[in-house]
Structure 1
């Protein structure tokens, strides 16, 4: 028995949910916007040719589009929150930007009652809902102390 890539792509995979820091979506020019998501696999139950199977979808690639004209940041790292962050993007100028995450998933399936996982040939992708980031410039000012 096999699970085709077409069947894998038809499964209701949940798109990765992007998280950012600062969490309010307001960032400063030239400061890194920290991005991360959950890198855990999803498991789904389905039926193939009348046989119950469990499908495990594991994220293998994360492609962050930052909306500023730069090439997408493509990584196998789901990232992490501050202070352990590993994925970030600085914006060189003020503006409002639309950010979106595309996740590539590798699939495996297991016939119900079996302990053997078999690979799915090919991958599936999901795309997160886009969200907005506002980048502002902070102007330092010298002030006298009383």
Structure 2
């Protein structure tokens, strides 16, 4: 709640004296007497406070005040006195409010699909100096890009739709490739290849960085201002040395 609204609240509730006014908030997310008609603006209200001056958890909400007598009974209509990114701090506000922080936390808790890799030559075996082709395959468990995960937050249906931000290929020998959105592929047209310079067994993997969009109660999709990086499971790549020699017949 901005300082000016805090000061107004204090003016109408002096220490040791009966309150002369009461306050409430109206959120586009459906809390407050005039909110239901604005439900489609919920996503906007949640994200509006991210870059607002002074920030705040949101959602951006209107603040109303009405006069009361010494018994607490209303003596006049609600009056709009401003808006705030701190609705939970308004005296008499409905608590708690759905916030972007709650949605980001749910995003981080998404059960992600993992990126498993296959290589060519087949069998995850290759030769020193040979171009080894990598291909990404998604696990069947967990959420891939564009597969919607629905969670319930404070009674709201919040849909989280992951999207691919990028891959990072980790080859196990100290070399990496990325960021890229390439899924790789097989010989000869695969777009991700690597040459190992010495023999040995190397643990390779593909790490996936997800972004996501969210919507509340079927509203418009809105980007989540955060990403999550999910390491893929390791795959052992055996690298061998091939030797040739001339034999006199």
Residues 78 and 60 of structure 1, relative CA distance in 2, 3 Å threshold = farther
3-state SS of the aligned residue for 1:93?
coil
Q: Which runs of 5+ in 1 are unaligned?
A: none
**Equivalent of 2:160, from 47, 55, 66?**
55
**Equivalent of 1:108, from 209, 213, 227?**
213
Residues 23 and 54 of structure 1, relative CA distance in 2, 3 Å threshold = farther
3-state SS of the aligned residue for 2:123?
coil
- Tell me what 2:151 maps to: 46
Aligned residues: 143
Higher RCO (CA 8 Å, separation ≥ 6 residues):
1
* 1:16 has 2:151 as partner: no
Please state how far the C-alpha of 1:48 moved relative to its aligned partner. Answer: 2.5
- Tell me what 1:25 maps to: 124
Structure with bigger strand share is: 1
3-state SS of the aligned residue for 2:105?
helix
**Equivalent of 2:174, from 49, 69, 73?**
69
**Greater than 4 Å deviation, 4+ residue runs:** 142-145
- Tell me what 1:135 maps to: 239
3-state SS of the aligned residue for 1:85?
coil
Q: TM-score, normalised by structure 2?
A: 0.52
Q: Distance in 2 between matches of 1:11 and 1:24?
A: 32
Query: Cα RMSD between the aligned structures?
Result: 2.2
Task: Look at both structures and tell me which one has the larger radius of gyration over its CA atoms.
Answer: 2
Please state how far the C-alpha of 1:128 moved relative to its aligned partner. Answer: 1.2
* 1:125 has 2:229 as partner: yes
Please state how far the C-alpha of 1:50 moved relative to its aligned partner. Answer: 1.8
* 1:97 has 2:234 as partner: no
Q: TM-score, normalised by structure 1?
A: 0.84
Q: Deviations over 1:79-101 (max 9, x none)?
A: 22223200111001111111121
Q: Distance in 2 between matches of 1:69 and 1:6?
A: 33
